[in-house]
Amino acid sequence: MMYHNPVLLQKSIEGLHIKPDGTYLDATFGGGGHSKEILKHLTTGKLVAFDQDEDALNNIPDNDHLIFVRHNFKYMKNFLRYHNISKINGILADLGVSSHQFDEAERGFSFRGEAELDMRMNRASEKTAQTIVNTYSNEQLKAIFVQFGELANAWKVATSITTARNVEPIKTVSQLLEAIKLCIPKHAENKFLAQVFQALRIEVNGELESLKDLLIQSVQVLAPEGRLVVITYHSLEDRIVKNFIKTGNFEGKVEKDFYGNVLAPLKAINKDVIIPDDVEISQNNRARSAKLRIAVKQNG
């Protein structure tokens, strides 16, 4: 089962500032690329790795330093408590859909292959993309296409879907593409369809709420001087991470103490966002939209 190269591997590992006896958390195990690199740096330390996708089970290395948890990372605090871990030294999250998930056509993540409209990262969950396009109201569909897809013609897309499903249920990728074909702008087909599918995927998996849960909990479980390393792939994720690191909230509202110091539990390590170089992008197409942000937990 082929998983592609982990994105920004060396930069993210450097960002963790790994201590050989420390405790670390990989929130998005996937193919295990980042986890395997973290494990190389541990002597007596531990790595707790999360992934809700059953396919990730095939990639777990035989390593005494690894604790694998097959659940969404939003349950991080609960499982750390279960394993009697109170504080950790670093968290790595490589967000979004893995190359493997995109490449498995039957998962329905890509508009380039024919499949049932699924898009579940956890195939045990009930809600699928098919559920959304066939049961959400026009207003609900418009809202997710505006909020999660940032589509200028979200109302037209929503109306096209509800009109088509009144004739027959929309069950497959090709049926969805047929339903919205008159909404697709010429010369920007791929970008537009990527936004449509992104919006559905985010809604299916509750991705942005899970990310917010991760960030809030990271502050609670990181030891002082612990590192948070996050790789994002679109502006919605990156804005949430950037705001939280800068201000401690998701709106980016700066609050200061009596002396004018910003009240935020994290401090950015990298002044400017880190992006892959041309060499990495040429070797791994998934890296082209990646952005890496690194923060340290402040004392107090």
Which string of b and e fits 54-75 if b means at least 16 CB within 10 Å?
ebbeebeeeeeebbbbbebbbb
pLDDT, tens digit, for every residue of 91-134? 999 997 655 444 455 554 566 678 889 888 878 788 999 999 99
Distances (CA, A) of 75 to 52, 72, 105, 120, 134: 11, 6, 28, 18, 30
Q: Look at residues 199, 196, 200 and name the one whose alpha carbon lies nearest to residue 181.
A: 196
The domain boundary, picked from 205, 222, 244, lies at 205
Domain that residue 131 falls in: 104-205
CB atoms within 10 A of CB 115: 18
Domain assignment present for residue 243? The answer is yes
Neighbour-count burial of 197, counting CB atoms closer than 10 A to its CB (0-12 exposed, 13-18 middle, 19+ buried): buried
- Grouped pLDDT means (10 residues each) for the chain, 300 residues: 74 97 95 94 96 82 94 93 96 76 53 82 87 98 97 97 97 95 93 94 94 96 97 95 95 88 91 93 88 91
Q: Is the domain of 35 the same as that of 122?
A: no
The tokens describing 234, both together, are: 């679109």
Last residue of a domain, one of 205, 232, 257: 205
What is the structure's pLDDT at 125?
Answer: 85
Whether residue 220 sits in one domain with residue 94:
yes
Residues 110 and 199 in one domain: yes
Q: Distance between CA 223 and CA 235 in Å, rounded? A: 29
pLDDT of residue 175: 96
Yes or no: say if 70 and 122 are a contact pair by the CB < 8 Å rule. Answer: no
Q: Which CATH number goes with the domain that contains 154?
A: 1.10.150.170
Report if residue 3 sits inside a domain: no
In a domain, 1, yes or no: no
Q: Which tokens go with 175?
A: 């049926």
Q: How long is the chain?
A: 300
pLDDT tens digits for 53-102? 787 788 889 999 999 999 889 999 999 999 999 999 999 999 976 554 44
Residue 52 resides in a domain: yes
Residues 79 and 218 in one domain: yes
Residues 6 or more apart in contact with residue 106 via CB below 8 angstroms: 115, 116, 118
Q: What is the reported pLDDT for 2?
A: 47
Which of 179, 205, 231 marks a domain boundary?
205
Q: Where are the alpha helices (DSSP H) in 115-179?
A: 129-135, 138-147, 154-165, 173-179
246/185 same-domain check: no
57 and 95 in a common domain: yes
Q: What is the pLDDT of residue 122?
A: 79
- pLDDT at residue 188, as a whole number: 92
Output DSSP code: residue 75. G
Question: Mean pLDDT across the chain, nearest whole number?
Answer: 91
Domain count, the chain: 2
Q: How far apart are CA 21 and CA 31, in angstroms?
A: 24
pLDDT of residue 102: 44
Tell me, yes or no, whether 30 and 153 share the same domain. no
- Of 246, 253, 250, 254, which is closest to residue 237 (Cα–Cα)? 250
Question: What Cα–Cα distance (Å) separates residue 209 from each residue in 70, 236, 293?
Answer: 19, 11, 19
Q: Are both 231 and 95 inside the same structural domain?
A: yes
Within a domain: 2:
no
Q: Give CA–CA dist 87/150, Å, rounded.
A: 38
> What pLDDT score was predicted for residue 129?
94
Looking at residue 165, its pLDDT comes to: 97
| Same domain as 212, residue 137 | no
